[in-house]
Amino acid sequence: SFAPESSSVSFSSSSTSSDDNTNVITGYLHHSDGDKSCYVRLVFTVDNDSEVSGTASFNNTTLDISGNYYDGSKKLLIYENGGGRYEGYVNGSTYSGKYYDNDGTWSFSMNVN
């Protein structure tokens, strides 16, 4: 869950409970070439060094993810163990940006749950 912080989202938490540190982001990737879309569920924690670890689930597949969250700019970079890369920004309850993989470029605007 995200702690509200001056009407923006904070991925950091001083809580020792792992439940409180788990972030869930869900939504659709939309391919730049047209009608292709894919539903994605990202579940991850962010440690004290702003390093992301967790899983990405889509199309009955689950991949490990890693990356970084930059609190100042609210930039969230996520790398899938398998080549995909999410680059975007968290704004309130939305994570939006671009996803890159072997199929090309996808755009997304997902919900921070």
Asked whether the predicted pLDDT for residue 16 surpasses 50, the reply is: no
Q: What is the pLDDT of residues 62-108, one digit of tens each?
A: 999 999 999 999 999 999 998 899 999 999 999 999 999 999 999 99
Asked whether the predicted pLDDT for residue 13 surpasses 90, the reply is: no
The pLDDT value recorded for residue 19 is 52
Higher local confidence (pLDDT), 20 or 3 = 20
Mean pLDDT, residues 52-60 taken together: 96
The pLDDT value recorded for residue 7 is 39
CA 90 – CA 83 distance, rounded (Å): 22
* Residue 99 CB-density burial (10 A; 0-12 exposed, 13-18 middle, 19+ buried): buried
The pLDDT value recorded for residue 82 is 86
Tell me if 74 sits within 8 A of 96, measured CB to CB: no
CA 66 – CA 61 distance, rounded (Å): 16
Mean pLDDT, residues 29-49 taken together: 94
Tell me if 57 sits within 8 A of 44, measured CB to CB: no
The pLDDT value recorded for residue 34 is 83
The pLDDT value recorded for residue 11 is 64
Tell me if 98 sits within 8 A of 88, measured CB to CB: yes
